[in-house]
Structure 1
Amino acid sequence: MPDLQTVDTSPDIEVRALDRKSAVPLYHQLFIDLRRQILDGRWKPGHPFPKDSDIEAAYDVSRITVRQAVSQLVDANLVLRFRGRGSFVSSLIRSDAPVNHRLVRDEIRALGMKPSHRNLGPIEIFEVSDLTAKQMHCEIGDEVQILQRLHLADDRPFCTESIMLLKDRYDGIFDRVVSGKEELTDAYKRFGVNVVKSEQTVNAMMPSEERREKLGMPDGVPALVVERIGFLDTNEPVDVRRLYYRGDRFSLRQEVLWPSPEDTRI
């Protein structure tokens, strides 16, 4: 149970206009903007989340639109709702400790299993959201190309992976990968993409029904969601990878280095 605060706070909502002519539903646009503010730290973990009525008034949308957006925040483990108490910002655990980056196939081999993968459908093209624009240092509305893959360990589903790169910089990088004529690592080399480090965040959440079906996961089993932002040697972000691991087949292990005895304060 998170440490929930009982202090009363003002709505303090930083409203960004929703595009009412867009094909993207209003509730999803609202979800993206509220998620942005949570990840930016506008509302502290454990503190009250704005009331539905305050969000409704701030964005001039219907109550059902607000409820759909907040439901997405709950599904993403960003907001917790308690009957009779209201909504609170989730106490997400974020680790800034450095870890060794490994490809999924290497992770599977380290577990003593045989890695394989298959691509899931054609390459998808999307306009970036506010959050993705911030991650990739690009403009909202720029296009990204996304490759979706299913990784298997000993021919059993292990995780799904989505790989996102800006279309105008690396147009066509996935074409030969999808057709089976080239490995992804070779495509990166051909386009001069040399990832030297990644920033990684890890969360646990319940996967969607579609993702659960792809991974063959039983009901009630959470997914371990890993998001990695890859950087070039110029410190410029180049790709975003989101991996959904089966929570019953994968655990994250990190080595924690302690300070020397003279530096330790207990």
Structure 2
Amino acid sequence: MDPRIPLYYQLMQVLLQEIEEGRYQPGDLFPSENELCERFSVSRPTVRQAINELVREGLLHRVRGKGTFVSEPKIQQDFFQRLVSFTEEMEQKGLSATTQVLELEVVPASKTVAAFLSLAHEEPVYRLERLRRVEGTPIVVVTTFVPQKYCPNLHEHDLNNNSLYRTLESRYGIRVCRARRILEVIAATEELAKLLETEVGAPLQLSKSVGWDQYNRAVEFSIARYRGDRSQFIIELRR
């Protein structure tokens, strides 16, 4: 051990290396504080601080009444760098993605939705709510609003097995060419926690997105809530 480096940090690096090398697999119960104290001959506060850092990094997570577990690796997404559908991006990464349509209905546009889509207040829009899974794990709940006038009879298309972007382009000649996205952090409500199989209050990444087509029309407004423990967004900046 290097006396110039805090002991908890050195322990954290050792545990991190063991996780990365596969000694502990995703879903495994991580050794208890007492076991780590005995193994490394360090104090309990040192072990607790090292574990807390790994939890903050998303490598471990705690389950009340059960212990600390190794987390599943986060899914890296280029959502803020490339304009592709969720389905297309997962396919390109070699991951199996599925969609479950929770609701599809025509509703009057609220003032907020109308403003994002440059519509009149209460103009009819499709409200599409979907649950997206990757490798069987729920990752994101997306609510999308699409002006009904641009895609009549959208409800007749199979959006469980076809992406919305592909459907808009193949059926209605609408190609989303430009988008603006806003990223925030929220806490999971009881309803979202149930859908995403996480805890109430767990951090979620909230993305609000507006897409414009080749005619510069605002054709979709989406609100996506991603599991914070399973999602990671890459943003590359250049000067």
- TM-score tier (shorter): 0.5 to 0.7
- Residue 172 of structure 2: which of 167, 191, 197 is its match? 191
Residue 19 of structure 1 aligns with which residue? none
- Residue 213 of structure 1: which of 179, 185, 194 is its match? 194
Q: Displacement of 1:196 after TM fit?
A: 0.6
Q: Displacement of 1:126 after TM fit?
A: 1.8
What is the CA–CA distance in structure 1 between the aligned matches of 2:215 and 2:235, rounded to whole Å? 27
**Residue 148 and residue 248 in structure 1: after superposition, are their counterparts in 2 closer, same or farther (change >3 A)?**
same
Give TM-score scaled by structure 2 length. Answer: 0.60
Matched, 1:116 2:98: yes
The structure with the largest alpha-carbon Rg is 2
Residue 155 of structure 2 aligns with which residue? 174
Q: Identify, as 1 or 2, the structure richer in strand.
A: 2
Q: Displacement of 1:177 after TM fit?
A: 1.8
> 1:145-188 deviations in whole A, cap 9, x for unaligned?
1121111111110111122111233221232225x686534421
What is the CA–CA distance in structure 1 between the aligned matches of 2:83 and 2:164, rounded to whole Å? 16
Give TM-score scaled by structure 1 length. Answer: 0.55
RCO comparison, higher one (Cα < 8 Å, 6+): 2
What is the CA–CA distance in structure 2 between the aligned matches of 1:187 and 1:113, rounded to whole Å? 21
Residue 132 of structure 1 aligns with which residue? 113
Matched, 1:100 2:70: no
Q: Displacement of 1:242 after TM fit?
A: 1.5
Moved over 6 A (4+): none
Q: Displacement of 1:116 after TM fit?
A: 1.4
What is the CA–CA distance in structure 2 between the aligned matches of 1:195 and 1:203, rounded to whole Å? 23
Q: Give the letter for the 2:167 counterpart.
A: A
Count of aligned residue pairs for this structure pair: 159
Contact 1:177 1:184 in 2 (8 A): no
Q: Displacement of 1:105 after TM fit?
A: 2.2
Residue 200 of structure 1 aligns with which residue? 181
**Residue 181 and residue 152 in structure 1: after superposition, are their counterparts in 2 closer, same or farther (change >3 A)?**
closer
Structure 1's unaligned 5+ residue stretches are: 1-97, 259-266
Residue 127 of structure 2 aligns with which residue? 146
What is the CA–CA distance in structure 2 between the aligned matches of 1:181 and 1:217, rounded to whole Å? 25
Q: Displacement of 1:229 after TM fit?
A: 0.6
Matched, 1:247 2:234: no
Matched, 1:162 2:135: no
Secondary structure at the counterpart of residue 101 of structure 1: coil
Structure 2's unaligned 5+ residue stretches are: 1-79
> 1:206-227 deviations in whole A, cap 9, x for unaligned?
1321111101112331110111
What is the CA–CA distance in structure 2 between the aligned matches of 1:174 and 1:156, rounded to whole Å? 26
> 1:56-75 deviations in whole A, cap 9, x for unaligned?
xxxxxxxxxxxxxxxxxxxx
Secondary structure at the counterpart of residue 176 of structure 2: coil
Root-mean-square deviation (Å): 2.1
What is the CA–CA distance in structure 2 between the aligned matches of 1:161 and 1:181, rounded to whole Å? 15
